[in-house]
Amino acid sequence: MTLTSITEPYDAAPAVNLEAQERARRARRLAWIVPSLTMMAALALWEWWVRAYDVPHYLVPAPSRIWATLMTDGPSLMVSAWFTVKLTLMALALAVVGGVALGAVFAMSRTLEMSLFPFAVILQVTPVIAIAPLILIYVDSTFAALLICAWIVAFFPILSGTVVGLRSADHNLSDLFTLYGASRWQRLRFLLAPSALPFFMAALKVAGGLALIGAVVAEFVAGTTGRNTGLASRIIESSFRNEIPRMFAALVLVSLLGIAIFLATSALSRLVLGRWHESEIRREV
Amino acid sequence: MAGPLIRMDRVRKQFGAGTLAVSDLTLSIDEGEFVSFLGPSGCGKSTALRMIAGLLPVTAGTIAIRPGAEEAEHDLGFVFQEPTLMPWTSVAQNVYLPLRMAGVSRAEAEPRVRAALADVGLSRFAEAYPRELSGGMKMRVSIARAMVTRPRILLMDEPFAALDEMTRMKLNNDVLRLWAERGLTVIFVTHSVFESVYLSSRVLVMAARPGRVVADLPLSAPWPRDDAYRNAARYVTDCRAVSEVLKRTLHDADIDH
């Protein structure tokens, strides 16, 4: 028996609206230009204020002086920056691995969740700055100790995002998988993981920032014990020596690192959710 | 033919210790029938459907489905009230899902997915994402997904309740055509008298608290039914007759809720 198509096919997508495209392009450009302009204006105001009122550079250095410091101290600051980058990214990666693995275990078993969740909460609510000195004492390698500190901070959002995400699959879709006799693996791969993705991406954005904060805080603690590590320990060291411009220069690098992490996680989120999830879909106006 | 295709024997469903959703439901459905469960909300019609699908365990009683030939990956197709599509993947991938669960390779499934989409008039939307489709189109994808395993039985749980009138009429015709061409057995849950009379060969009127079948009305209006049938005197009298039964049912029951 041959089957005729039971309905006339739907019409093709609406014609491309060139004017709307142009408008969208302009809006995208504006989204870059406006914040850049305000940022430049703020820097100019700062520069003017320092010069006009003769603010001494050991109190507040002008942007131009910070820039000059960045240039002269660049090579040595870069070594420290690389340390912090390495520390932050490794902490974030380990937080993703650990958070997702433990989140999957929690989502599978309420009993395990109930027994292990208190530990996760304790780790989360105890300020890392209070645990860091102990960890630095117990762990021989400074890098490993700092890594543990940064990991503790970044781990929790990933864990809770994964657990909530894995539990948030649509109930009817879940029934559908039951109806078709999906295996545990198929359910995880084709239903639970994609359902969890928006929650995971939101958690990753938070964890990215927290990993940096954890790394910096841990470095501070290590810095006060005289261990030379990344950017944060350079800030401490410069403050001991009263080298305020270098403090600012290191601070700028920390901020840039934070911004880079934010942009990277946001871009990743747009990449994986952009075609289907409400949070990343640009609505046409 | 060896007896009915689906037989429910004193089926009972109680949720927890509380609501008795379905009480002593006994009925049999023959192969090729188009049966509607018609009733007000809360009468247990969706619950009954879910039990037939095996999505809900019965509290007591039995449900037997006569085993069929082994040609289908899955004997039951289910269409939910919502399109229930995976928003993160394309229309074609959504339709492929039941075959993927059954271990059919991508290459083997590809022509069948394409055919299933052609059957519902969505050939050109295989690569679209669900959010790019209208409500009616999403429902068509849902129907294509249910049909891709070549089921004998199609279960539909108020599938068109959320659609506009014109789309609903069109999809009603589509379902009737699939039913006729494929020799399907359809169980269709609805709260619309008009829809049930238009589609069914038999309407089971259900009442709430506890959920039970109060009337079993065969509809013998000839096939094929099309839009002309909606204006036929026969359709009007059948609708009136079914409405009367439904009204009496509501009247008998305590409806001050």
What pLDDT score was predicted for residue A12? 47
- The reply to whether residue A10 touches residue B122, judged by beta carbons under 8 angstroms, is yes
Q: What is the pLDDT of residue B20?
A: 84
Q: What is the edge-to-edge ordering of all strands in the sheet holding B6-14?
A: B20-29, B6-14, B60-65
How does pLDDT run across B29-75, given as a tens digit for each residue?
999 999 999 988 888 899 999 999 999 999 988 998 888 766 566 78
Dihedral pair phi/psi, residue B28, rounded to 5°: -130, 145
**pLDDT of amino acid A15:** 52
Whether residue B156 is predicted with pLDDT greater than 90 in this model: the reply is: yes
User: What ipTM was reported for this prediction?
Assistant: 0.89
pLDDT score at B40: 86
Instruction: Please give the model's pTM, rounded to 2 decimal places.
Output: 0.83
pLDDT in the model for residue A4: 41
- For residue A2, the model assigns a pLDDT of 39
At residue B71, the pLDDT reads 58
Q: How does residue B220 score in pLDDT terms, banded at 50, 70 and 90?
A: confident
Q: Output the pLDDT for position B252.
A: 64
Collect all residues with Cβ–Cβ distance below 8 Å to A275 and sequence separation of at least 6.
B88, B129
> Which amino acid belongs to residue B130?
P
Which has the minimum average pLDDT: A173-182, B17-26, B52-61, B171-180?
A: B17-26
Are residues A180 and B178, on separate chains, in Cβ contact within 8 Å? no
Tell me which chain A residue has its CA closest to the CA of residue B77: A179
Taking any CB pair shorter than 8 Å as contact, residues of chain B touching chain A are 50, 53-55, 74, 76, 78, 80, 82, 84, 86-89, 97-98, 100-102, 115, 118-125, 129-131, 137, 140, 149, 170, 173-174, 177-178, 181
Instruction: Considering only the beta carbons, identify the residue of B78, B120, B122 that sits closest to A179.
Output: B78
The closest CB to that of B86, out of A9, A173, A182, belongs to A173
pLDDT tens over chain A, length 285 residues = 334 444 444 544 555 577 888 888 888 888 889 989 999 999 999 999 999 999 988 889 999 999 999 999 888 889 899 999 999 999 999 999 999 999 988 888 889 888 988 888 888 888 888 888 899 899 988 899 999 999 999 999 999 999 999 999 999 999 999 999 999 889 999 999 999 999 999 999 999 999 999 999 999 888 777 777 889 988 998 888 888 999 999 999 999 999 999 999 999 999 989 888 887 777 665
Please report the DSSP string for chain B in residue order.
Answer: --S-SEEEEEEEEE-TTS-EEEEEEEEEE-TT-EEEEE--TTSSHHHHHHHHHTSS--SEEEEEE----TT-S-SEEEE-SS----TTS-HHHHHHHHHHHTT--HHHHHHHHHHHHHHTT-GGGTTS-GGGS-HHHHHHHHHHHHHTT--SEEEEESTTTTS-HHHHHHHHHHHHHHHHHHT-EEEEEES-HHHHHHH-SEEEEEETTTTEEEEEEE----SS--HHHHTSHHHHHHHHHHHHHHHHHHHHS----
Residues of A within 8 A of B76 (CB-CB) are: 179
Q: From the CB of residue B65, how many other CB atoms can be counted at a distance below 10 Å?
A: 18
Cβ(A75)–Cβ(A234) below 8 Å: no
Q: Reply yes or no on whether the pLDDT at B16 is more than 90.
A: no
